[in-house]
A and B are shown apart, each in its own frame.
Chain A
Amino acid sequence: MYDQFKVKAEAVSADVLRFQTKGEALDFIFRFMREEGLSTYAGESAVWADGNFIEDIDKNVLEAEGIFFGVTAQRAAGARFGICCMDWAIADTGTLAHDSTSFEKRLVSTLPEIHIAILSAKAILPDLQSFIERVSPEKFPFISLITGPSRTADIERVLTIGVHGPRRLVTVFVDELEVNTDEK
């Protein structure tokens, strides 16, 4: 299903990567952000909504580099990178999904220019049907499905990436990560 997901997600301009360990995934994420100009300056910083993914790293060191964990709307709007975990992926449409009841998750995945989404490679479901059967709206008041970066074709039907949401969606699958949401 990973291969199907990758094909479908790349077809809608998403980047898809896969790593065995958390460590490898984190190495990639930091390297990627540095290459893309991570800094503490406005417009070049990062906001991270799931602190627990990197519990064993000193967050003060990261903040000095421009990666912030206290997410506010202003800070997310001023960031280049937004990072959060996703709970599921849907293979046949190349879609990511998460319980985004937490306000922060929505901010980091929508306001910055680049959204880095991390999830377990075991969390891929075949289709929308199996996803909807698995989640209950009572338990997850705000469910978000994200398929590729923000887009529009409102001017002359010309596809343009990055309107109000991110212009890039980088999906990072981690094999050793467990599926972290108990469902329904």
Chain B
Amino acid sequence: MKNEFIESIDRAVNNSNLTGALGKFSEAYRVNRAKAYEGVDFDELREKIASIKSAAALELDALAELFRENAEARGAKVFRTDEPVEVKEYILRIARENGVKTIVKSKSMATEEIHLNPFLEKAGIVVKETDLGEWIIQLAGQTPSHMVMPAIHMTREEVSDIFSKEVNERLSSDIPKLVKVAREQLRPFFLNADMGISGANIAVAETGTLVLMTNEGNARLVTTLPRIHVAVVGIEKLVRHFKDIVPIIKALPRSATAQLLTSYVSIITGKTPVTNGNEKELHIILMDNHRSDMAADPVFRQAMQCIRCASCLNVCPVFRLVGGHVFGKVYTGGIGTILTAWFDELGKSSDIQGLCIQCGACKDVCPAKIGIPELIMEIRRRLVTKQGLPLVQKALYSVVNNRRLFHSMLRAASIAGGAFASGGFIRHLPFFLSELTDGRSLPAIAKEPFRDRFTRIRQPVCREKAVFYAGCLIDFAYPEMGEAVVKILNSAGIEVIFPEGQTCCGAPAKYAGAYEVAAANAVDNIKALLLPDVSYVVSACPTCTVALQRDFLKTLEAAGKNKWITKAEELAAKSFDFSSLAKKLAESGRLSFSATDTEACVTYHDSCHLKRSLCIHEEPRTLLNLAGYTIQEMSECDTCCGMGGAYSMKLPEISLPMLKRKLANIDNTKAGTAAMDCPGCVLQIRGGFDRERKNITVKHSVELLAERLKE
């Protein structure tokens, strides 16, 4: 990552106005969004939107022509173009032909995308943004930091300063008064403008209809008052049928601002009359700008389903720390990263794609069912294919691909780490490595890894066998978690086998975009783990489980190692996350806990990969309840702790504030113990509390459960 990029992150996370506003908003949004969707089957609704828009993405050309035919039959002029520069020139030509001096605009991301305003202003035309947020940033000479709330990064004091300059009068920072200033200042422009420019939220091909949704009423005025209306519409807004607008109108305001409906929805079909009895001139520009390329890409086509609600920004734990401007000038957040890679160029996304911690929160709320995290991973993969890995990472992954070397280095680290370790933690590292222990202690590498300890565990004779896949963290940092797993499975009558040949699950390489490396890891693991007479392959690390169940397949496919695919499928079929297997065993009476003796209260942290990739959240809670633990839920229990594997090392500026929020949420429950099912989260959260010198126990569920097994 470039220095200036890291600096922009630094500035953002240290801007307390920004993080305060975004933090407050993101907390309120979760609650309000859920309320707005009460009584609505969200999955059914988004299934509808996804199917409407994915079908449209497959027939863009036909829909654009159908739209043109129908809109022109009703008196509109439709101009289709691939090129942003042609959009700008077309608008300027119309303006010149009609003697346009002033233009009023309602919010349009498509025109932000092509930087229309400076172009028209340079030609001597006065252009007024009329959406309050857009007007604020226009006056401030800034760019939008959020698709729906462009000025969310600014305080009322900043707005009052900007407005004071505009009206040449010292204004107070009273928000209703500031809003009134906007109404009064912009009114004359609405009444006198010669042209109105809008975007559109939906374009209906079979009727040539545009749908515009706003809260302020400005789009209504922009499309009503001036004698010329120009709508700039990205072709991803096309749908075939008029009835298709229903699910989109239903979801967009609920997801965007947690409203049941925006104050105004205008459904415009063709030309309409204007005040002096004349017909209004209506121009509709259908803009491509690489959208067709995106639709033609089998992986990225789904990004065409986006309805621009920005809910992926609103729930993103990274966005709420850095805001929009770190992402660039136009589209921000998760979907913004993808749109920038296509509408701008792949290279433009090379820094910002690294901001994604892959927690999956956005995917859960996307009303268009877009797999945003996977698409960002795909950008990463393509960047690595194109540009290669940085040298240091390359060296690192060549080590990871050599299991013996990798494991002997981890053992060596246990000895080297000894100099800095105290009480099971590395609290300070020297020199350039010190950032890693800034705000979080790292676990000391275990003196004896699980693989060595395992050889001494005496197991009872059992009728069933399971392979335990430890993963690097349990094997080399937290062997006691592995011992707990063995103890629990043994008590359920399952003998545990630990194949020595198992190695890194490949997740670090995959999440860095190095699929070749990850695929080599997959092959080593398949060889080691697929044993005869074994009923289950069990992992107590959700990231490893995702690798076993899905990612091995994906990386093998991407790397063209097709002969391993059947075996990967075989392995996936018998791979289990610990908690889902243990819950099954408990339900069938094979696993019992002695829950009676003491009352104990824990709070539970949902790990990203467990909750959102594997959809497991009830199972660990049920198990803890069975073992006699009461769960005191924390606020934002499923928000990422900031670990994200290598993320915490690459972007500690973001990871640490995420961790701090998590620590505070845990602390506020007064539970005294935090349970979770991911050794990575344990590393992050336990290290955080150690650093804060807080006496809160952080444990993997397996440890808590193993303590309460019925003998």
A140 vs B262: C-alpha distance when bound (angstroms): 21
Q: List 30 A-B contacts (CB under 8 A).
A: A74-B191, A93-B260, A103-B272, A106-B224, A110-B221, A110-B224, A111-B221, A137-B204, A137-B207, A138-B74, A143-B267, A147-B265, A149-B263, A151-B215, A152-B133, A152-B179, A154-B149, A154-B152, A155-B156, A155-B159, A155-B175, A156-B21, A156-B175, A157-B152, A160-B176, A164-B183, A164-B186, A164-B187, A165-B217, A165-B221
Give the contact stretch, choosing among B238-246, B472-480, B618-626.
B238-246
Distance between A100 CB and nearest chain B CB, rounded to angstroms: 8
Q: Which of B208-256 contact A (CB under 8 A)?
A: 209, 215-218, 220-221, 224-225, 242-243, 245-246, 249-250
Among A94, A129, A166, residue most surrounded by chain B Cβ atoms (within 10 Å): A129
A146 within 8 A of B: yes
Distance between A73 CB and nearest chain B CB, rounded to angstroms: 5
A171 within 8 A of B: no
Sorted from nearest, which 3 A-B pairs have the closest CB atoms?
A: A165-B217, A154-B133, A145-B265
A144 vs B268: C-alpha distance when bound (angstroms): 9
A110 vs B106: C-alpha distance when bound (angstroms): 15
Give the chain B neighbours of A142 by CB distance below 8 A: 266-269, 272
Q: CB-nearest residue of chain B relative to A111?
A: B221
B402 within 8 A of A: no
Distance between A133 CB and nearest chain B CB, rounded to angstroms: 7
Please pick, from B21, B28, B186, B263, the residue contacting A146 in the complex, using a CB distance under 8 A.
B263
A122 vs B152: C-alpha distance when bound (angstroms): 42
A133 vs B244: C-alpha distance when bound (angstroms): 11
Contact A103/B274 with A145-B265, A154-B151, A165-B263 known, Cβ cut-off 8 Å: yes
Q: Which of A84-136 contact B (CB under 8 A)?
A: 92-95, 101-103, 106-107, 110-111, 128-129, 132-133, 136
A139 vs B182: C-alpha distance when bound (angstroms): 36
Inter-chain contact B261/A95, CB cutoff 8 Å: yes
B24 within 8 A of A: yes
Give the chain B neighbours of A147 by CB distance below 8 A: 260-265
Inter-chain contact B246/A72, CB cutoff 8 Å: no
Inter-chain contact A165/B159, CB cutoff 8 Å: no
Give the chain B neighbours of A6 by CB distance below 8 A: none
Give the chain B neighbours of A51 by CB distance below 8 A: none
B275 within 8 A of A: yes
B257 within 8 A of A: yes
Q: CB-nearest residue of chain A relative to B132?
A: A154
Inter-chain contact B271/A164, CB cutoff 8 Å: no
Contact A93/B204 with A73-B191, A129-B246 known, Cβ cut-off 8 Å: no
A148 within 8 A of B: yes
Contact A144/B266 with A73-B191, A164-B217 known, Cβ cut-off 8 Å: yes
B155 within 8 A of A: yes
Q: CB-nearest residue of chain A relative to B257?
A: A153
A143 vs B179: C-alpha distance when bound (angstroms): 27
A162 vs B216: C-alpha distance when bound (angstroms): 7
A94 vs B260: C-alpha distance when bound (angstroms): 9
A111 vs B184: C-alpha distance when bound (angstroms): 12
Give the chain B neighbours of A158 by CB distance below 8 A: 156, 175
